[in-house]
Structure 1
């Protein structure tokens, strides 16, 4: 098969791009022809160096690097992104069997969806976030510090001051969501969920679209090295951006109450406040290899107490693979991989419950036993790159087969050309 992977970056600037890159590499290693299209011009990860993998750079600018007004307008609808993508797809020497999109909010905008649907091949979108329904993308109210229970784009949603930046940013994101709704309309779109919780939550938000839902685990690129020794670990470890919505402050408070040091890998708005607390060690951002080394040497447990509905934070899976217990928020999709009381704890993102879990792990024998159980459970069904590529291959084949059968049944001939129809520069209505 010929698969087009579309993402905004060709380096792992975030979880979505990391999965896109690894998917592309895994599919190429599985024997598929892969075209990786990056929207934002820049360097490429060595993962994309493979004989069956071709990379195309659309040469677009990251919206975050543009002046505010230009960034807002292009974020709502970028004719430039649509035309460049259409040209790249039309120039492919072989028509793809399907196109898989991983991110579109930083440079591509809703304008690309009519282009993708115009190819006549199946289009898939992995839901790494909630932007398909929610204007701020995380289904979280930054004004109240709690997950959002409002219906996306309802009157209550439109007036809620929920954005992490300002009301003006919220207005721009509302306009973008309105453009997205029109761009997708009732076109057939396959959405890929990375956890069961995302599928359950998003299902009720996306009723207006003609979607087919699928479930595929993210890949986790860690080698099997035997279990770590968390019973000898000296700290509760947190890996990620240091923000309130991800629960970094909860880790500091609960670890101190449990009598354990807390070690933070990452940076963010809470860095200075955390640095002032006793028993806290901040290491800043580290390479993936360094993170793995630190976890194996220092971690008694990994803490991931998100207040928002995270989909599938990779650090949770990486810790389990290393044989390190995980204390995860019951709001996190990754918690489905944690066996409560056996390979870690699944608790509400509150200091009292976290303190109790950390206190239990202060028992070295219990931490060691949980670590061994975590390692055994993970490697019984590992989320390897090969498993991810296998599951994606089966999904693509099923989608292409079902589409072919449906077209034969309806008497509509399959398209064999690669001409792309480009949408109008602006949507008719917002």
Structure 2
């Protein structure tokens, strides 16, 4: 099988890039031939160094590095990027069987979709966010600090000042969503969801489009080892970007109310606000090995307090694999892996509920029990790269089999069914 993996970066930094890179590696290790197309110039992860992986760079620039007027226009429709992508696909020595898209908003724009559909190949995209339906990409009201309940591109949606940056950004993103809807109209798209909640939510938000939904967990590249001992830790810990929609202020407030230090790994807009609070420790970004070395020593639990409908934060799964309990927002897709009170807590992202759950972590025996259950339950059904790859290949095979049957004459199709 010949697969094209299309992403805007080729380094496992954020969640989407991490999944794209690791999926490409997993497919290659499973014996598939992979062409990894990197839209934006930049570093390349060592995971893409494999004899079955061919890498192609399109040479695009990140939209945030372009002049403002160019960024706005290119965000709506970037014909040059689409042409470069089309030329790269047409130059491949072997026609691919399927194209798997992971990102498109940072350089490719909605113009990427006609370029893909024009090649007559099945197109699959993984939903790491909600840009396929929602103009601001997270289905969240930044003006109200709450999840959105509006129909995308409805009159109420157009009027809402919901963007995290400005009304001008909202206007541009609405234009992009309109262009996207036009590009997807009467086209077939296979969508991979990384959590059950995304399937239910996007099934409604994408009504009117020819979308087939699939469900595949993200890969978690964690080596099984002796579980951590969270009862020896001292802090409620958070890993990720420090923003309000991710609930980092809630972590600080809940930890203080429960009498625990709050440990933050990452940077972001709320860094200075957090630094000024008592009982807060910030260590900035760290290499992955350093992060888990620190958390295995310090964390009584990992916090994932998203106020938005986050799809599948990898940190939650990595914590469970290490035997560290997780306190997760019940709005996060990752909470599906939490059995409340057994391997952590699934909690509404509100201070009283979070403080109450955090207070239970003072009990060493309870914390140790949560950690042991986290490790045991995760490794009973691990989200390894191999498991992810097998599920991904099964999706590809279903898609290709469906297309093959559709190409048969009517009588042959009936007998095949």
With structure 1 as the length reference, what TM-score do the two structures score? Answer: 0.95
SS at match of 2:205: coil
Distance 2:287 2:412 in 1: 51
Distance 1:224 1:60 in 2: 39
Q: What's the CA shift string for 1:26-83, capped at 9, x where partnerless?
A: 0000000000001001221101000000000001111011111101101110001110
Matched, 1:88 2:97: no
Q: What's the CA shift string for 1:294-321, capped at 9, x where partnerless?
A: 1111110001111110000000000000
Matched, 1:322 2:322: yes
Matched, 1:263 2:254: no
Distance 1:258 1:292 in 2: 24
Q: Report what 1:131 is aligned to.
A: 131
Q: Which runs of 5+ in 1 are unaligned?
A: 414-430
Distance 1:410 1:30 in 2: 34
Distance 1:410 1:45 in 2: 47
Matched, 1:355 2:359: no
Distance 1:91 1:136 in 2: 34
Distance 1:223 1:84 in 2: 39
Deviation at 1:410, TM superposition (A): 4.8
SS at match of 1:95: coil
Alignment of 1:284-363 (within 5 A): 284-363=284-363
Q: What's the CA shift string for 1:340-371, capped at 9, x where partnerless?
A: 11000001001111111111111111111110
With structure 2 as the length reference, what TM-score do the two structures score? Answer: 0.98
Alignment of 1:267-278 (within 5 A): 267-278=267-278
Q: Which runs of 5+ in 2 are unaligned?
A: none
Distance 1:410 1:258 in 2: 67
Q: What's the CA shift string for 1:378-403, capped at 9, x where partnerless?
A: 00110001111111111111111111
Q: Report what 2:209 is aligned to.
A: 209
Q: Report what 2:176 is aligned to.
A: 176
Distance 1:241 1:115 in 2: 33
Matched, 1:236 2:236: yes
Distance 1:287 1:69 in 2: 36
Distance 1:281 1:198 in 2: 33
Q: Report what 1:22 is aligned to.
A: 22
Q: Report what 1:44 is aligned to.
A: 44
Q: Report what 1:426 is aligned to.
A: none
Q: What's the CA shift string for 1:223-281, capped at 9, x where partnerless?
A: 00121000101100011111111110011111011111110001111111111111110
CA separation of 1:361/1:72 partners in 2, compared to 1, >3 Å: closer, same or farther? Answer: same
Deviation at 1:12, TM superposition (A): 2.1
Distance 1:329 1:382 in 2: 21
Deviation at 1:117, TM superposition (A): 0.8
SS at match of 2:243: coil
Alignment of 1:402-417 (within 5 A): 402-410=402-410
SS at match of 2:408: helix
Q: What's the CA shift string for 1:103-132, capped at 9, x where partnerless?
A: 000000000101111111110010000000
Q: What's the CA shift string for 1:203-239, capped at 9, x where partnerless?
A: 1100021000000000011100121000101100011
Distance 2:116 2:71 in 1: 22
Distance 2:411 2:317 in 1: 46
Distance 1:393 1:192 in 2: 12
Distance 1:13 1:40 in 2: 14
SS at match of 1:158: helix
Q: Report what 1:419 is aligned to.
A: none
CA separation of 1:166/1:411 partners in 2, compared to 1, >3 Å: closer, same or farther? Answer: farther
